[in-house]
Structure 1
Amino acid sequence: MFEEKALEKIKAGKEKWNNDVVGKTLAKNPERKAEFTTISGTPVERLYTPLDIAEVDYEKDLGYPGVFPFTRGVQPTMYRGRFWTMRQYAGFGSAKESNARYRYLLSQGQTGLSVAFDLPTQAGYDSDHPLSMGEVGKVGVAIDSIEDMKVLFDQIPLDKVTTSMTINAAATVLLGMYLAIAEEQGASFDKVGGTVQNDVLKEITVRGQYIYPPKHTMRLTTDLIEFCLKNVPKWNTISISGYHIRESGSTAAQEMAFTIADGIAYVQACVDRGLDVDSFAPRLSFFFNAFTNVLEEVAKFRAGRRVWAKIMKDRFGAKNPRSMMLRFHVQTGGVTLTAQQPLNNIVRVGLQAYAAALGGCQSLHTNSYDEALCLPTQQAVTVALRTQQIVAEESGATDTIDPLAGSFYVEAMTQKIEAEIMDYLQKIDAMGGTLVAIEQGFIQKEIQNSAYRFQKEIENNERVYVGINKYTMEEPPPEGLLKIDMSVGEVETAKLKKLRAERDQAKWKAALDNLRKVSETDENVMPAVIEAVKAKATVGEICDVWRDIFGQYRPKEYV
């Protein structure tokens, strides 16, 4: 973008500035520390100039919003047309309690739902299973059967509101329930929109809510994608998730690289199934974290869009521009929240939301300031939603597209992160692909090393964490925290007992027998799952059929 003579002049000018101006200043007032780095540990130079982006080709590397390589955004007018979907992640206790929170959020201006399921539901266990004890409704809503799902979405028209469901190993079951109640509401499948996370590779890598071995998990994932392609065209069939990778301690570049590596694995599985890449790729979506270092986060999102576009075009031969778009949801960094001085988290979340807006997200969840202490109270979740609305309506970040483009620092950081992403992808390809890299523990070890570095910096006071290792203070015990009534487990158990006693036993058994038969073939399981949930088979009963057929995954120990 710059002529050679101009760059030579800038180089000479910078050297003179360093020697004459900076040198004298440093002699009198040394800088705060010997080295400045981002949260990811990337060195930050004192000053960035055109010299740092001399290799950038505007047309090739940046281009224009809405066109390849989508560095500057996936929509031609971005937020000048409409804001991102404001989608607050919520769910706790019973379906009835969560339904009340959803309807409250919608009344306050939220534009989409995002369902948090409790750990037993995520792990494919019913609320009355021994392993569910003490966890029912604790970190999300307890869903055992289609009857719970009906209550969860009571008075919420599923053809008018899009829903994101954070469910992975049991994704086919929960989507089956959602589609069954949509049908009961009179909403045809082609009118139903939303997203199911459905990303078990990241569960195996970092989060732990897996059930079946990777091969069989990939089969269920691909079945869901194929079914929605043919029957639920507005559904985003997978949300390939880097959020939990970052929460586990990865750098920004690792978050993007390992997420894209998972994406490559899912695309390849669909192609191997015989699906045309341009038939399913437009409905793939992504889910990323946003940390407090605004500029690094913006560069990460820009680099990720560019890399994904190139991979889909060059590696998979995609022709449809929508197949090349990295469309993503962002959630602010849960692991960045502190129990100490929790109101400080409002500022952290504000900066993270600002980074997501500047980085061009398609939907956003802002964490509540009290989430390091409890599930969010209604007051805290309202502040979190208002944070999004203030960024959207008052900050100016939405008035122009990709407002940090052209910043020497942001462009240089975008280039650097892209190079790191590509380096990781090449290493993973050389190992034999994502599944092999996971089995060998490569991805896990890289994340663990980064997490260790960051924690060591905090403990050694090399990196300031306000309220943790600097600006600390004595605080009274927190008050007004949201407490989940743990009797919800007993209530759910009683409901299950009643459901099992009253359902049509012959219809229920026939549906589960059919599910078993279909699962033992190459046939798509989704129609059989929908039939089973309509027959009032529970989440645990359906998942147990697959546990029996596929077995359960047990990860290796890595040293």
Structure 2
Amino acid sequence: MAPNALKDLPSGHEAPRAETPAAPTRAEHPSYTPEEIARVVAARERWTAEELGEVLAKLPRRRAAFQTDSGIPIPDVLDPGHRREADYLRDVGYPGRYPFTRGPQPTMYRGRLWTMRQFAGFGSPEDTNRRFHFLLKAGMHGLSTAFDMPALMGYDPDHPLSRGEVGKEGVSVATLRDFEVLFDGIPLGDVTTSMTINASAVVALAMYVAVGEQQGVPRAKLGGTLQADMLKEYIAQKEWIVPPRPAVKIVCDMIAFCAEEMPRWNPVSISGYHIREAGATAVQELAFTLADGLEYVQQCVDRGLDVDAFAPRLSFFWDVHNDLFEEVAKFRAARRIWARTLKERFGAKKKESLLLRTHAQTAGVSLTAQQPYNNVVRTALQAFAAVLGGTQSLHTNSLDETYALPTEEAVTIALRTQQIIAFESGADRVVDPLAGSYYVEYLTDEMERRALEHLRHIDAMGGMIRAVEDGYPQREIAESAFRYQREIETGDRTIVGVNAFRTEEEEPIPILKIDESVARAQVERLRAVKASRSGERVKEALAGVERAAKEGVNVVPPVIAAVKAYASLGEICDVFRKVYGVYREDGRF
């Protein structure tokens, strides 16, 4: 069925879905001849019976079986015999060339280092603006903005549900006036900005566009990324306003709008980070994240968009945990699966459409309140894994984030961690340095195979929206999280400083505290804005948002108009609640 014909399907009719590509079969030109493979396997069998057998007879093994954190078995030794199905050019190839296993760019960090971002957002817009300037002066390449819980849930700071949460885990924003303060003195034409906001992301996008225009920067020249990944919210993070289907429709509205008017903007950052933080394994994170991305592509194609018009601006956001080699393999397998699926299933022709471009963040869930300085080491290990895996952007967590938002000292250490890796480790001198490692290539193949099993199961269910509505990924993640916690409690998994190598007393560390005066100031600013704006103009603008939502047309332009009229985030989200209804999870597992 041609993409343009899909938009003419009757309401409620789901177009048949092409299957996700199958795992690779035996290559016509394997990297090793059958004779050489047979010789290697015979030598391995002798080694297993002789050298290994002799040692194992004398020493007890540390574990009954070795496996990755995702449960992938690790053989006693790996050699070419374990990759007898491999074809180098088909499966590994070269950087910047299909299937992009080795990276999206030919030169990778030789040509340009990854973008160094540090999550910033707390208290008032003034507080966060000062942190932005501090980080840019310290050498950060791009801004990364965290919003507080009321903003994430679509409420203004004066709403009863916002009490006690204003500015606590991100910056408080309600109207365009807050964005004007937030980005005061920040040249939006030169700096890229990432905004971690989902359910109310369309409002944040509109405010950023409006602030850019005030600075004289047209929307076509604004660069950055909006997270806006609603599917992962229903799977893992649980911050939503409306039910899944209208929420995904709004995401696709932003994708369509940005494809037409904001060519430098990534309208959605398809996020595995929160899926992993909820307890998923690396394989589950890989599979469910790609499934989310493929669902957005399918929905956009179904509404008549050309895949090559929007796919080049889709981006991904991954968690990076402690199993270094598995994390490297995850990045490599993700690029390969995405490229093959966009080409074979959706018929993408542009090279840019096949590139899986990614931001990564070290694992917040791995940080411990016990012996918090150990978190510096964990973060360094995870950051190095992201670099070895070929990320294009990286955030490193701060040592104090189990207690509160980071202090300036802690966030500086986190940024210096990236800079030491970039300028002192040598990782910037070679592209995909672990390529060819028998272990890493074995893991890459296994990650791909296991992820494709999940993807085919989701396809059989009717796609990711249906899978989410049926609770499939939620159940899988809950079971993995339970197993992980049980391993810690039984001692089968060692967490340094938590269930092993503990200390009796620990010195307190300085933490950032948000004063309640922030909430009072934000409420007063909101009242002042409402008192000074044109009530009639706001009423007309909100009516335009409601009309667009009811008629099923793109809501981004009327939301921009409402923001420019100084309608508040809460007022705009209330329109969505009115039209689409309020979503509450039924709790099935």
Q: How far is 1:519 from its partner?
A: 1.9
- Is 2:166 the partner of 1:136? yes
Matched with 2:412 is 382
Q: How far is 1:224 from its partner?
A: 0.9
1:368 to 373, 393, 398: 398
- Is 2:52 the partner of 1:26? no
Matches within 5 A, 1:71-470: 71-470=101-500
CA distance in 2: counterparts of 1:137 and 1:290, whole angstroms: 27
Matched with 2:24 is none
Q: How far is 1:288 from its partner?
A: 0.3
Provide, for residues 7-56 of structure 1, a one-character-per-residue CA deviation record: whole Å limited to 9, x for no partner: 11111111111111111112222222212222222222221111111111
Q: How far is 1:67 from its partner?
A: 1.2
Q: How far is 1:522 from its partner?
A: 2.6
Whether the 8 Å CA contact 1:374–1:481 is kept in 2: the answer is yes
Provide, for residues 488-515 of structure 1, a one-character-per-residue CA deviation record: whole Å limited to 9, x for no partner: 1111111111111121112111111222
Decide which moves more: 298-307 or 41-50: 41-50
Q: What SS does structure 2 have at the residue aligned with 1:317?
A: coil
Decide which moves more: 486-495 or 235-244: 486-495
After TM superposition, the score normalised by the length of structure 2 is 0.94
Letter in 2 for 1:10: V
Letter in 2 for 1:557: G
Q: What SS does structure 2 have at the residue aligned with 1:87?
A: strand
Q: How far is 1:274 from its partner?
A: 1.1
- Is 2:81 the partner of 1:56? no
CA distance in 1: counterparts of 2:136 and 2:410, whole angstroms: 16
Whether the 8 Å CA contact 2:72–2:446 is kept in 1: the answer is no
Whether the 8 Å CA contact 1:358–1:404 is kept in 2: the answer is yes
Whether the 8 Å CA contact 2:371–2:506 is kept in 1: the answer is no
CA distance in 2: counterparts of 1:100 and 1:132, whole angstroms: 24
Letter in 2 for 1:176: A
CA distance in 2: counterparts of 1:435 and 1:191, whole angstroms: 33
CA distance in 2: counterparts of 1:241 and 1:319, whole angstroms: 25
Identity over aligned pairs, percent: 54
Matched with 1:3 is 33
Q: What is the count of residue pairs matched by the alignment?
A: 559
Q: Which runs of 5+ in 2 are unaligned?
A: 1-30
Matches within 5 A, 1:480-499: 480-499=510-529
Q: How far is 1:401 from its partner?
A: 0.6
- What is the CA RMSD across the aligned residues, in angstroms? 0.9
CA distance in 1: counterparts of 2:587 and 2:553, whole angstroms: 34
Q: How far is 1:140 from its partner?
A: 0.3
Decide which moves more: 312-321 or 17-26: 17-26
Matched with 2:588 is 558
Q: What SS does structure 1 have at the residue aligned with 2:551?
A: coil
Q: What SS does structure 1 have at the residue aligned with 2:49?
A: helix
Detail structure 1 runs of 4+ shifted over 4 Å in the superposition.
Answer: none
Whether the 8 Å CA contact 2:121–2:171 is kept in 1: the answer is yes
Matched with 1:67 is 97
Whether the 8 Å CA contact 2:245–2:465 is kept in 1: the answer is no
Q: What SS does structure 1 have at the residue aligned with 2:332?
A: helix
- Is 2:559 the partner of 1:529? yes
Letter in 2 for 1:77: T
Q: How far is 1:479 from its partner?
A: 3.1
Whether the 8 Å CA contact 2:228–2:268 is kept in 1: the answer is yes
Letter in 1 for 2:585: P
Q: How far is 1:477 from its partner?
A: 4.7
2:571 to 499, 517, 541: 541
Q: How far is 1:475 from its partner?
A: 2.5
Q: How far is 1:526 from its partner?
A: 1.2
Q: What SS does structure 1 have at the residue aligned with 2:129?
A: helix
CA distance in 1: counterparts of 2:395 and 2:529, whole angstroms: 35
CA distance in 2: counterparts of 1:150 and 1:194, whole angstroms: 17
